Amino acid sequence: MRQLVYYESRKHFLTKQMFVMVLILLIVNAIKISSVFREQSAFTDLNEDCFREAYDKLYKTYKGELTDKKLKDFMDLYQPIKDKVDAGAYSTKAEKGALTINSFSDCLFLGRCFLDDIEYETAYEDYANTVVRNAVSNISFFKSKKHSFEANVNYKIAKAFYQRKLANFYNTDGFRSLLYYDFSTIIIILLCLYGCSSVFIKEEETEMHLLLKTSVKGKGASFAAKITSCMLFVFFICILFSIEDYTFFFINFGNMDGFSEPLYILEGFKDTLLNINLISFYILCVISKLIGICGFAFIFMMVSLFGKNTLSVLVVNIVMLAGIIGTYTINVSTLKYVNPLSLVFGRKLFMRQEFIKLHNYPLSNSLLPYIFSGIIIMIGIALMSRRWKRGVKS
């Protein structure tokens, strides 16, 4: 079996063309990450070295636990500058003693690089407590109305937000950009489209299917080897590009200090029900992406098995992919939750979760794409296995 898997991998994936294509796309992805850094970094429009020097100095002072002393020291630094700018008593030329260039640039610099995040983090505990109070109040109300499902939903919300707070300040620009980065995901889908579309149709075009019909391992073992080699390719590509993403975001943004901070340290995830840290969420997104891409791979392979030639298989797969993408963009939550793309772009599942009713038990909608992707994979295996064992394009 191991030799069959190796043979199938060499035939479809371990080729010179695939190697060159993956290498080129890795380079393109690295360039794209660098462009994202230039667009989203706080220093992209602040090119003077003094901005980076000022940031590095202040960041060493304020990173870590947000103590009262740190907050007071920061406001003692920021407020006089803000008052001066509000009063219009600043120069557009270089000022002696300024952190950067002048008071106006200092105000923008401190607000963008420190104040916005500090204000969000210090206010989050009150926000979470408000959510808990409202949820507890809703529990009592819905119980009085005998709506146990809504009561259970609010219990889950209260439990998730209970005692939440953000006690530390870290630069999370790198993680924020990493979690919103989708370019490499598009590359992975296209590579799987190219690789998986030929897994079965190539036997037809080379007339190998005639030989496979007479081979002892031409049915079950050969079929399993093709599926295994395809899944190994998907796994390798997903992990390879995920590692490259993290590595180059780390290199470009300089650090990922906040990797152990809770997910809701990012403002876009303030309503998430997940109580995990940033690095754990990134791993969850990679796993979700892998499952979603596997769903796509089985769709591509099914078309390959039932197709007539490579060109027709590629055309049908491209059309199907376009249809899946089009369905995903429709603003109907039910369609999104049964779409493998919901797993591929997994962050959207957890920003603000909803629930469906299952015997008065609230089941998170974020579980549905996993279930439907699993169903796609099982149906794909069943249909392709039956088709293959009936005679390989008989």
Residues 375 and 349 in one domain: yes
pLDDT of residue 393 exceeding 50: no
Asked if 297 and 378 touch (Cβ cutoff 8 Å), the reply is: no
* Residue 64 Ramachandran class (φ > 0 left, ψ -120 to 50 alpha, else beta): left
Which string of DSSP letters, residue by residue, matches 294-315? Answer: HHHHHHHHHHHHH-SSHHHHHH
Q: What is the mean pLDDT of the chain?
A: 85
Write down the pLDDT at residue 291.
Answer: 92
* The pLDDT of residue 89: 73
Expressed as residue numbers, the domain containing 348 is: 2-43+170-389
Q: How many CA atoms within 13 Å lie on the side-chain side of 282?
A: 26
**Does residue 58 form part of some domain?**
no
Residue 319: its pLDDT value, please?
A: 92
The whole-number pLDDT of residue 92 equals 73
The tens digit of pLDDT for each residue in 148-180 reads 999 999 999 999 999 999 999 998 888 999 999
Q: What is the average pLDDT across 334-344?
A: 81
Q: Which residue has the tokens 């740190």?
A: 70
Query: DSSP letters along 177-215, please?
Result: HHHT--HHHHHHHHHHHHHHTTTTHHHHHTTHHHHHHHS
State whether 247 and 360 are in the same domain. Answer: yes
| 201 and 73 in a common domain | no
Number of domains in the chain: 2
Question: What is the pTM for the complete model shown?
Answer: 0.88
- With respect to residue 49, please indicate whether it lies within any of the assigned structural domains: no
Q: What is the pLDDT of residue 208?
A: 55
C-alpha neighbours within 13 Å on the C-beta side of residue 341: 17
Answer yes or no: is pLDDT of 218 > 60.
Answer: no
pLDDT digits (tens, 9 = 90+) for 109-137: 899 889 999 999 999 999 999 999 999 99
Q: How many of the other CB atoms lie within 10 Å of CB of 270?
A: 18
